Every structure is written in structure tokens, then in C-alpha cells.
Amino acid sequence: MFRLGAHVSISDGFEAAVEHEVELGGNCGQLFVGSPRGWTISEVDETEANAFRDAADEQDVGLWVIHGTYLINLATPKDDLARKSIDCLQDELDAAATLDIPYYVFHPGAHTGAGEETGIDNVGKRLSDIDVPSGVTLLLENTAGKGTTVGKRLEDLDTMVKTSDYEYGDLGICLDTCHLFAAGYDFTDEAAMGELVDEIDSTVGIENVHYLHLNDSKHPLGSEKDEHEHIGEGKIGEAGFRQFVNHDTLREKPMVLETPKDERGDVWNIEKVTALRTDG
């Protein structure tokens, strides 16, 4: 079954987040378990977790993913920030396990002057310090490449995984369309889409991509700028999304939207993607 949804808030609680997703027309979704720009995560107790699980089962909203806080930086040369990042990531991962959420995704971080190779190596080594609970896959998200952030090239994500003591299975990949495009990966016509898929397959492997973030880009190909736009309204455009969401190798993977929450909002974007699907 094809899963498509949007990022939703837990400000009314976990159970209500399921309800919010249903109201948007989604059947999968993404959550933060704390403030996206803070270190504190919301404690998840068993009662809340049970209510969330029951609601998700009842409404058939499946394949949830938790998005890590933006402060996490496993690429950093600073030991104290690395420690804080590992602890926070662990707490959020454990929350995913408590909630029976199968995926957790985070941005690898920034090397802040230590050099790209060092940053990538730092991420790989620090992944080994994390205890990935059974039932949860820890996903590395590709980045737009802004400033000193690492993880813009697919081969760099693959290096991080291979540097760690883990293998694909416990670890996996989440691809963000806006970040791919900003990082210079074109997929706006059939030939380019074919090349991108070959590139994915020869680096991280298509089978290790577990989740897709669908966002159009306000900025052109290779701009390294991370600003999301409504589906079809940005520089990727409808043609690009038609290629991406219908490609044989990707079309069955769960997709969530992180498009602007303005007057268009998530309902509009979910309808848009559905209309672009050949099965929509």
C-alpha cells in the first residue's frame, strides 16, 4: 500500500497527531519528539505510547518516522557537542522504540572548519556509540550542502555507514528531494531521473533507502540552499515530481511532505502528489 503523509505536530499529544494526519488525508507521517531547535525531548510514557499505537492501528496510519532535532551534530570537531548530540539522538531513538515507530531520521551535521573528510569520519565513528534499538532503523538524511554541512553526496552517506560498526539494516537512508536538487542532483526529466537512480544504486543502494521527503526547492539546481517550496511550485516543478514519485524503484517507498505550512498547507500538497502519481 502506498504511504503518503506530512510532518505533523505533537503539541496536542501523540494520539492527536494521528488524528491530525488523518485530517490532512495522510496515511503515514513524521513527528518531532521534542523542540526541533532544542535539546529537551518530551518524555514518552507507556500510556501515551499505547494510545498512539492504538490510534495509528485503528486509523491505519502506518510507517511513522521521527525526525531528530536540528541541533544534533555528529560531524563536529567539538567533543562536548558530540557527546550532547549522541545522548540526544539516543533519547529520541529510544522514544521511537517506545512508540513502535519503525524509523528515525537525522541530519549528519557540520564539520565547522575541521574539513569535510574529518566531518564524515566523525559521523561514522560516532554512529558506533549509538545503541540502535531492535525494531527501529536509524536513517541518515542527505543534505543540501549548505556551509560546512556534510552528507550532500550520496557516496558520503555511504562512507558514514561503512565507517561505523553498523551495517545497512540497522542503518538506512532517507532522501529529501529539495536537498538532492540543491546538492546538484537533477531529476527533472526521464534521462536525469535514470542517472540519479543509477547513482543511488551504486552508492547507498536503492534497497537501503527507506523513506522519502518530498519538498520542492525555492532555489535552483546546485544552489546548496535549503528552502522548501510547495510541490510543483518551485525549481523542481511538476515534471520533476512526476518522475520522482512514479519511478519504479521509489514509488512504493513511504513519502512525507515538509512543505511550508501557509495557506496552501499539507492538504493541498498531499492532493498535488496524489494527482501526479500515475495511480492517483
The helix (run of H) or strand (run of E) holding residue 5 is strand 4-7
To the question of whether residue 199 is assigned a binding role by annotation, the answer is no
Looking up cell 512543505, which residue turns up? Answer: 259
In terms of Cβ atoms closer than 10 Å to its own Cβ (0-12, 13-18, 19+), residue 205 is middle
- Looking at the Cβ atoms of 141 and 229, the one nearer to Zn ion is 141
Cα distance between residue 165 and residue 111, in whole Å: 21
- Cα distances (angstroms) measured from residue 280 to each of 2, 45, 260, 274: 10, 38, 23, 5
> How many CA within 13 A on the CB side of residue 42?
20
Among positions 140-199, residues that touch Zn ion (CB under 5 A) are 141, 178
Summarize the chain as % helix, strand, coil (round to 5).
Answer: 40, 15, 45
CB under 5 A: which stretch of 50-58, 92-100, 196-204, 222-230 binds Zn ion? 222-230
DSSP annotation of 233 reads T
- Looking at the Cβ atoms of 49 and 88, the one nearer to Zn ion is 88
Cα distance between residue 19 and residue 30, in whole Å: 13
CB under 5 A: which stretch of 111-119, 121-129, 139-147, 192-200 binds Zn ion? 139-147
To the question of whether residue 198 is assigned a binding role by annotation, the answer is no
CB of 152 to Zn ion, least distance (A): 12
Number of residues interacting with Zn ion: please give it, by CB under 5 A. Answer: 3
To the question of whether residue 107 is assigned a binding role by annotation, the answer is yes
CB of 60 to Zn ion, least distance (A): 25
To the question of whether residue 226 is assigned a binding role by annotation, the answer is yes
Among 15, 92, 156, 226, binds Zn ion (CB under 5 A): 226
CB under 5 A: which stretch of 22-30, 56-64, 136-144, 262-270 binds Zn ion? 136-144
CB under 5 A: which stretch of 116-124, 184-192, 224-232, 272-280 binds Zn ion? 224-232
61, three cell numbers:
496510519
In terms of Cβ atoms closer than 10 Å to its own Cβ (0-12, 13-18, 19+), residue 60 is exposed
What length does the chain have? Answer: 280
CB of 54 to Zn ion, least distance (A): 28
Cα 168 to chain center, whole Å?
A: 16
Told to check if 216 binds Zn ion by CB under 5 A, we report no
CB under 5 A: which stretch of 3-11, 138-146, 150-158, 234-242 binds Zn ion? 138-146
CB of 244 to Zn ion, least distance (A): 15
To the question of whether residue 7 is assigned a binding role by annotation, the answer is no
Binding-site positions read 67, 107, 141, 176, 179, 213, 226, 228, 258
Positions touching Zn ion (CB under 5 A) are: 141, 178, 226
Binding-site positions for Zn(2+) read 67, 107, 141, 176, 179, 213, 226, 228, 258
